[in-house]
């Protein structure tokens, strides 16, 4: 009886605490630049991850861990006598390399660990930690960040504890090789959306925050970025936009200034920006930065090392270097019915480990048994990933947007898209990401 009363008092105290700083629903305000932009908010965004847990103390449900908002917790049952865990199921498997956790001091559980699984049943330990090694904030919550010893793709990741009194976790985020952060966010338009070239998957900053706004990509290893591709909503580029690099994520060097109106506006009212960077230094962090503005809407942001492109063949003016540009209507097209294998190769200035690939291609013109390959010499090739183009979304122009992780742990100077003998291949954009 005494235990029940204690739990009731604890629950009531948490409810009172939460009500004073309750999450307010954010209405996504339509920009005032025309009907086209208002339509963009209605387009399909990335499928969100789903969350399950071993138990729950109401109303602190497991999906709360996806929000970094303070006082949105998942709380397990109290003294259940069972192992306790909270699992995030992602739409597609990926190689997690980093984890961020915010939890109540002392409520990390017993022998806490991060685990991965391909089926949600059998689990592999990826990292143990001691919560008391990490800083405790003024609210008595510890902020834990560490790198996972992992080279395998998993669809399921979880925080696991042996039997304990209870767990109280405010935030859990499993991050791939490349992670994305931002100054602010409106509703579900989260910063990691900038990794997808699919139209309508935006990062949107807060409205009229009065602050500088930015979205930053942190890479697994530093590299010399020589080119940036950006897709943004027309008129929502922010104020005095620029590209910056950093070695530590704190001190930033400006690499380029941008005038968005110098670049073409597509039928979705999005501008496609491609520019060369005057940069000779390797940075681990790159970002798009705006001075205080109404709001900033970025659909796609990608940094590329120095590269040259060659193709197996070419039709007309559709040359191979066009694949480096996100501009709509700039293609590489192979010969028609050549009877040969067809390919397009990107040669980089220095070797790096290609971890993922983004491709935009004409529906049905992916070729025969398409694959991504890597090479150290441009002659001998290793298969890094096959794909079925029809598994990926087709846009209103009849172009498929393909994104997947490569099965690769080796550095290559050359990467290519390869097809067996086919009618022809028509590729609008390709990018290999470190």
Q: Write a three-state SS string for 265-285.
A: ECCCCEEEEEEECCCCCCEEE
Q: What confidence score (pLDDT) does residue 198 get?
A: 66
CATH topology of domain 307-433: Jelly Rolls (2.60.120)
Q: At CA 171, angle to CA 166 and CA 173, rounded to 5?
A: 120
Q: How far apart are CA 295 and CA 37, in angstroms?
A: 13
Percent of the chain with pLDDT over 90: 55
Asked if the model's pLDDT at residue 12 lies above 80, the reply is: no
Q: What confidence score (pLDDT) does residue 294 get?
A: 95
**pLDDT range class, residue 272, cuts 50, 70, 90:** confident
Backbone phi, psi, residue 228, to 5°: -130, 140
Residue ranges of the domains in the chain? Answer: 29-175, 179-305, 307-433
Point out the least confidently predicted range of 332-336, 384-388, 430-434: 430-434
Q: At CA 349, angle to CA 344 and CA 352, rounded to 5?
A: 85
How many CB atoms sit inside 10 A of residue 273's CB?
25
Asked if the model's pLDDT at residue 225 lies above 60, the reply is: yes
CATH of domain 29-175: 2.60.120.260
Q: How far apart are CA 91 and CA 282, in angstroms?
A: 32
Distances (CA, A) of 337 to 40, 130, 342: 39, 61, 10
Asked if the model's pLDDT at residue 361 lies above 50, the reply is: yes
Higher-pLDDT residue of 369, 39: 369
CATH topology of domain 179-305: Jelly Rolls (2.60.120)
Q: What confidence score (pLDDT) does residue 21 get?
A: 31
- Tell me the per-residue pLDDT of 168-204, one tens digit each, with 9 for 90 and over: 999 888 876 678 899 999 988 989 888 876 667 899 9
- Tell me the per-residue pLDDT of 93-121, one tens digit each, with 9 for 90 and over: 877 877 889 899 999 999 999 999 999 99
Q: What confidence score (pLDDT) does residue 68 get?
A: 62
Q: What confidence score (pLDDT) does residue 34 get?
A: 30
Q: Which 3 state secondary structure label does DSSP give 7?
A: helix
Handedness of CA 94, 248, 281, 192 (dihedral sign): positive
Structure tokens at 72: 């949105």
Q: How far apart are CA 418 and CA 371, in angstroms?
A: 5
**pLDDT range class, residue 229, cuts 50, 70, 90:** confident
Percent of the chain with pLDDT over 70: 87
- Tell me the per-residue pLDDT of 57-85, one tens digit each, with 9 for 90 and over: 999 999 889 876 677 899 999 999 999 99
Q: What confidence score (pLDDT) does residue 23 get?
A: 29
- Tell me the per-residue pLDDT of 378-416, one tens digit each, with 9 for 90 and over: 999 999 999 999 988 888 899 999 988 888 889 999 999
Q: Mean of the per-residue pLDDT values for the chain?
A: 84
CA atoms within 13 A on the CB side of 432: 31
Same fold, 29-175 and 179-305: yes
Q: What confidence score (pLDDT) does residue 258 get?
A: 96
């Amino acid at each position: 009886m005494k235990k029940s009363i204690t739990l009731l008092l604890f629950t009531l105290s948490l409810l009172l605490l939460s009500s004073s700083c309750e999450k307010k629903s954010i209405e996504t305000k339509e920009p005032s630049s025309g009907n086209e932009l208002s339509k963009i908010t209605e387009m399909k965004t990335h499928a969100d991850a789903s969350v399950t847990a071993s138990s729950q103390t109401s109303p602190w449900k497991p999906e709360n861990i996806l929000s970094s908002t303070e006082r949105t917790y998942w709380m397990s049952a109290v003294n259940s006598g069972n192992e306790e865990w909270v699992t995030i199921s992602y739409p597609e498997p990926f190689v997690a390399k980093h984890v961020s956790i915010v939890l109540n001091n002392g409520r990390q559980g017993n022998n806490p660990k991060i685990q991965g699984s391909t089926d949600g049943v059998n689990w592999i330990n990826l990292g143990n930690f001691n919560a008391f090694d990490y800083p405790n904030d003024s609210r008595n919550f510890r902020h834990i960040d560490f790198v996972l010893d992992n080279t395998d793709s998993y669809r399921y990741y979880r925080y696991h504890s042996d039997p304990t009194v209870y767990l109280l976790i405010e935030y859990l985020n499993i991050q791939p090789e490349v992670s994305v952060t931002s100054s602010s966010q409106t509703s579900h338009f989260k910063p990691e959306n900038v990794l997808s070239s699919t139209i309508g998957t935006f990062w949107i900053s807060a409205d009229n925050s009065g602050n500088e706004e930015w979205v930053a990509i942190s890479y697994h290893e530093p590299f010399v970025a020589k080119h940036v591709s950006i897709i943004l909503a027309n008129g929502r580029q922010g104020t005095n936009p620029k590209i910056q690099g950093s070695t530590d994520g704190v001190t930033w060097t400006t690499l380029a200034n941008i005038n968005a109106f110098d670049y073409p506006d597509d039928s979705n009212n999005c501008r496609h920006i491609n520019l060369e960077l005057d940069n000779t230094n390797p940075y681990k962090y790159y970002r798009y930065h705006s001075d205080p503005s109404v709001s900033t809407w970025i659909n796609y942001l990608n940094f590329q090392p120095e590269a040259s492109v060659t193709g197996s063949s070419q039709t007309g003016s559709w040359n191979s270097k066009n694949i480096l540009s996100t501009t709509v209507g700039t293609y590489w097209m192979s010969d028609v019915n050549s009877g040969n294998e067809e390919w397009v190769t990107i040669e980089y200035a220095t070797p790096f480990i290609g971890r993922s690939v983004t491709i935009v291609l004409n529906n049905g013109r992916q070729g025969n048994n398409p694959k991504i390959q890597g090479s150290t010499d441009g002659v001998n090739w290793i298969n890094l990933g096959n794909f079925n183009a029809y598994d990926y979304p087709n846009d209103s122009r009849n172009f498929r947007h393909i994104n997947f992780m490569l099965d690769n742990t080796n550095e290559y100077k050359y990467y290519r898209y390869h097809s067996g003998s086919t009618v022809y291949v028509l590729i609008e954009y390709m990018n290999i990401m470190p």
